[in-house]
Amino acid sequence: MNIKLVNKILVFYGLSLIPLCLYLSACGKLGDPDTIKIARIDNEYITRGDLYKILREMDDKERPKISSKGDFLLVLNQYIDQRIKIPLGKKLAEEGKIKLDREIAREQFFKQCGDEEQQMREIWAMPIPEGDTITPLMQVYNLTPATLRAMKEYIEQETDKVYEKLLGEEAIAYLVGEDLKAGKISITKEELEREYNLKKDRFHLYEKIKFRGIFVPTFIPQSAKIASDYRRQIDDGKNFDDLINEILSQKDSLLALPELKEIKIIESEIENNPNSVRFRGFWAVAENAQPGDVLGPVYLPEFRRIAKDEKGVTYTEIMPDSYVVLKVLEREPERTPTIEEIKHLLAPPILIAKKMEELRSLHNVEIYEENIPDPASSRDQFTNPWEEL
């Protein structure tokens, strides 16, 4: 079994392999961290020792690298916000004001698993056999009935955590919505402009091409030759749209070859994101293409697209690896969106921040920044208690 999964089981059952002395070594020499108050929520104080414990118990994927006082402050504020949101989410759910499908939380947990996502999904789907039986799929992951049961319990436990957090977020969104209806909360033009100037680069719009293409899946015998023949017909003078009509007519024929039925005619679009290597081959061909240009055959790896069926219902379609001959319909240049285009994305964080500020005030939240440990200072004698996790 993956060693990371073994560690997850051990942690789940409270059998951490990390010696307690690592935690205690983080206490510093100038005072007991359990007595140094760094924050307050309601009538409860949070100490340095609490902060170290919070970090030590965080999931590996969530635990930030601590290199400054600001990193500690970020973790502390996030913890305090969760202390407010989670009980609020439970309360509003019990009152029937909000609800959340638990499967959404499980799906988010799986997506947070990174390289282990597929493994976790398969473990969750596995039935637990009776007795000591080990199925072939269990052998793949070196699982016994006991470890399979433990992993399923771990997945349930982590799903519960995600569910609580999502329910808390849903609660804040609900309260913001109610305040908006009542006119108790609003956003000024200056606040929106400040948020835009801070975040506009995050919403950067990459160059994008919309096209209509003839997709020849690579699993069809001689797929490259078929796609090349389509391109040859266009080079010989055949109109691209006429060629598509011919293909569609042939697909509908009762005499159509089975492989012809696998060829698809679709409209789609692809953006030129420099951080993605997936479509670099496509953009090497499409770099200077303009509307009306015919390109290909070009290889396109598998991708998902949003499509609609005959009744107009939206669904996700998986396009297989294919050779594509395509006609460029539209080309949108790279640009920064205007404030009007993204104000619906900028407003929610502002409103949520205002609501959280109000809730923190109601809970008497105080932060004592002068007592926050500073890893860069020799005065704090700080040693990471989780660096070996």
Is 388 a residue whose pLDDT tops 90? no
Peptide bond into 64 cis (omega under 30): no
49: left (phi over 0), alpha (psi -120 to 50) or beta: alpha
Q: If residue 222 lies in a helix (H) or strand (E), which one and from where to where?
A: none
Residue 18 has pLDDT above 50, yes or no: no
d(CA 102, CA 93): 12
Kindly state the tokens that stand for 281.
């081959």
Q: Where are the beta strands (DSSP E) in 148-228?
A: 208-217
The answer to whether residues 369 and 40 touch, using CB atoms and an 8 Å cutoff, is no
How many whole angstroms separate alpha carbon 95 and alpha carbon 112? 30
Confidence bin at 17 (pLDDT 50/70/90): very low
Q: How high is the mean pLDDT of the chain?
A: 88
Query: For 125-141, how does the pLDDT look when each residue is reduced to its tens digit (9 = 90+)?
Result: 999 998 888 999 889 88
Burial class (CB within 10 angstroms; exposed 0-12, middle 13-18, buried 19+) of 223: buried
Of 275 and 89, the structure prediction assigns the larger pLDDT to: 89
> For 7-14, what is the mean pLDDT?
50
Q: What would the pLDDT profile of 223-281 be if each residue is shown by its tens digit?
A: 999 999 999 999 999 999 999 999 998 887 766 677 788 999 999 999 999 888 889 99
- What residue spans define the domains of the chain? 1-204+337-389, 208-332
pTM: 0.70
Compute the distance between CA of residue 193 and CA of residue 293 in angstroms, rounded to an integer.
40
Q: Cα–Cα distance between 74 and 65 in angstroms, integer?
A: 11
Least confident of 4-13, 112-121, 369-378: 4-13
Q: Helix-strand-coil percent breakdown of the chain, rounded to 5?
A: 50, 15, 30
- At 289, give phi and psi (nearest 5°): -70, 145
Above pLDDT 90, what percent of the chain? 68
Q: CATH: 3.90.550, 3.10.50, 1.10.20, 2.60.40. Which one for 208-332?
A: 3.10.50
Buried b (16+ CB within 10 A) or exposed e, 60-92: eeebeebeebeebbebbeebbbebbbbebbeeb
